[in-house]
Amino acid sequence: MKRLTLVLMALAAVASPVGAVAPVGTSQRAVPTEGAVPRPARLPQTPAEALMQDGAAYARHYGVAIEGAVQRLRALQVSAAFTDRIRQAYRERLVGISIDHQPSLRIVVLLAGDAPVADTSIVVEGMILPIMFRTGAGATGDEIIRAMLQHGPELNALLPNARGMGLDARSGELVILVRASDAARFDLANLKRDAERLAGVPVRFDLADRPDNLSLAGGARIEGVDPADGKRYACTTGFAVTDGTRTGIATAAHCPDQVEYQDPDGGTIPLSFAGQWGARTQDVQINVSPVPQQPLFYADRRQGALRTLASARSRLSTRAGEWLCHYGESSGYSCAEVELTQFAPPGQLCAGACAPTWVSVRTHDCRSGDSGGPVFNGDVAFGITKGGSGGRNTRCNFYFYMSTDFLPAGWRLLL
């Protein structure tokens, strides 16, 4: 019997884009899909080829040579260990750590308090990477996170149409994302003062569109029937996972429980339902494969860009300005900068209130149909797409993802 590999791999038969779905916990799941595309190549990229692809996107975005772009991405990967040590050394004062890409690459550390810290630098991947310390922030990162946890409902009540909030690691503010109608209010300055009195930390209002769950299509196709309406739906896969005994796939928690993998040769492979987690910090479902899997995922299914997963970056090690790529069946492959590393989506998007543990990426390259897709850099996993700022027919301004840190207890990435 031939070996079948299910997760985000070259066996995928992929549906056309699907429509938006309702938040987790509702009966609506996705939109039925049709059609398929030719099967891509099965050979995974080497780590160098993976970075070259992501580096090409970086080079186009920042106007640098491809060689320099790849060198920067390598340097940033290595530098995460250094910034983790900085995070620990200055944990009592730390607001956040960010990456500046222009006019040149550097790391910026923002601290509360006025005691100065000398700038420094590290040599990584043959380049000097400056590390700049900025002081004088009005609150630490922990204080801002605590304000969101303790006063989130009251802050949301000031502007009921606000589209989420998060810690801005660059400015040291609690940023509240507002709609255009709220941004034009004559009493916005008074509301800002009220928010700062309530939270006890600096607050900034920033313009953003409405977030919602993105619909279900992504790196590879699985299908299932929603018992609520009897219709067949397609959904996405993110990364291969294991509990030490079984292997399976992780996807967004909007997928029908019982699904089948669609083999391009005409067969179907039933995947058993292991569980679904969709509250506060999580939006993930796991379906178990009947055969052992490999740690492979699509960076770009349309181009047949298959990668072997090597490692994962934790949420706490992720910095504002991090260059991350994602694949969504609607928007395709794209890369952009992390904006907020401690983001709380609005309303009841997490089967209730969301914790400030999500990560937002500022980009126009996200659409309905991307939910569940992988977020990565090179061969390093960062998370699984949860939602975005635009609806089915509106322009996206950012998407946000669940860190792979929040895979359910007992499950881990297959490496």
Beta-bridge mates of residue 271: 259
Residue 101 lies in a domain: no
Give me the numbers of helices (H) and strands (E) for the chain, helices first please. Answer: 5, 25
Please name which of 150, 81, 85, 86 lies closest in space to residue 118, comparing C-alpha atoms: 86
Across the chain, mean pLDDT equals: 83
Average pLDDT value for residue range 16-45: 40
Residue 225 lies in a domain: yes
Predicted local confidence at residue 209, as pLDDT: 60
Residue 201 lies in a domain: no
Q: What is the pTM of this model?
A: 0.84
Q: How many other β-carbons are positioned within 10 Å of the β-carbon of residue 318?
A: 22
What's the CA gap between 369 and 330, in Å, rounded? 5
> pLDDT, tens digit, for every residue of 222-281?
556 566 666 666 566 789 999 999 998 888 886 677 777 655 445 567 788 999 999 999
Residue 327 lies in a domain: yes
Residue 240 lies in a domain: yes
Q: Residue 303 sits in a domain of what CATH number?
A: 2.40.10.120
89 SS3 class: helix
Residue 399 lies in a domain: yes
Q: 217 lies in which domain range?
A: 212-413
- Asked if residue 355 lies in contact with residue 281, where contact means CB atoms within 8 angstroms, the answer is yes
What's the CA gap between 4 and 116, in Å, rounded? 58
- Strand locations in 28-186 (E): 94-100, 106-112, 120-124, 127-137, 165-168, 173-178
Predicted local confidence at residue 212, as pLDDT: 54
CA distances to 25, 38, 125, 332, 386 from 373, rounded to whole Å, are 20, 20, 30, 10, 8
Total number of domains constituting the chain: 1
Q: Which two structure tokens, joined as six digits, stand for 127?
A: 């380049």
